[in-house]
């Protein structure tokens, strides 16, 4: 499970890195930026889905991580590109993903696991 959590931290950082490089408006103006951000957020959700599937007790014990919501976002991004609202993806990346990363890093640290 630690490897999966480290992958999740990695993709959270990828998302945060993309957002650090450009203002919010660029993601609505540039398809390249939009797709890069969407892919990173989708990958975060995919990893959350794997945690739900492989480690349901972990998910239950860590409801504050909102793994189901992240997986739901992944499904929306993966199957509904025509209906994606870019600002929601940006807001998710700016607010939810940093909180998720910090929480997962705490879990890894508390378990004595390296972060990378």
Contacts with 8 (C-beta within 8 Å, 6 or more apart), sequence order = 44, 47, 48, 51, 100, 101, 104
Q: What is the pLDDT of residues 5-53, one digit of tens each?
A: 999 999 999 999 999 999 999 999 999 999 999 999 999 999 999 999 9
Number of domains in the chain: 1
Inter-CA distances, 16 with 34, 41, 55, 60, 95, Å: 14, 10, 26, 26, 10
Q: What is the pLDDT of residues 52-105, one digit of tens each?
A: 999 999 999 999 999 999 999 999 998 876 678 999 999 999 999 999 999 999
Q: Which domain range does residue 57 map to?
A: 2-109
């Amino acid at each position: 499970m630690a490897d999966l959590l480290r992958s999740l931290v990695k993709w959270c950082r990828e998302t945060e890195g993309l957002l650090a490089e450009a203002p919010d408006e660029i993601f609505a103006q540039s398809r390249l930026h939009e797709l890069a951000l969407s892919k990173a957020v989708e990958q975060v959700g995919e990893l959350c889905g794997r945690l739900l599937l492989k480690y349901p007790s972990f998910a239950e014990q860590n409801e504050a991580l909102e793994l189901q919501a992240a997986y739901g976002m992944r499904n929306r991004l993966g199957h509904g590109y025509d209906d994606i609202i870019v600002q929601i993806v940006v807001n998710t990346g700016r607010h939810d993903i940093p909180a998720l990363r910090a929480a997962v890093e705490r879990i890894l640290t508390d378990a004595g696991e390296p972060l990378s």
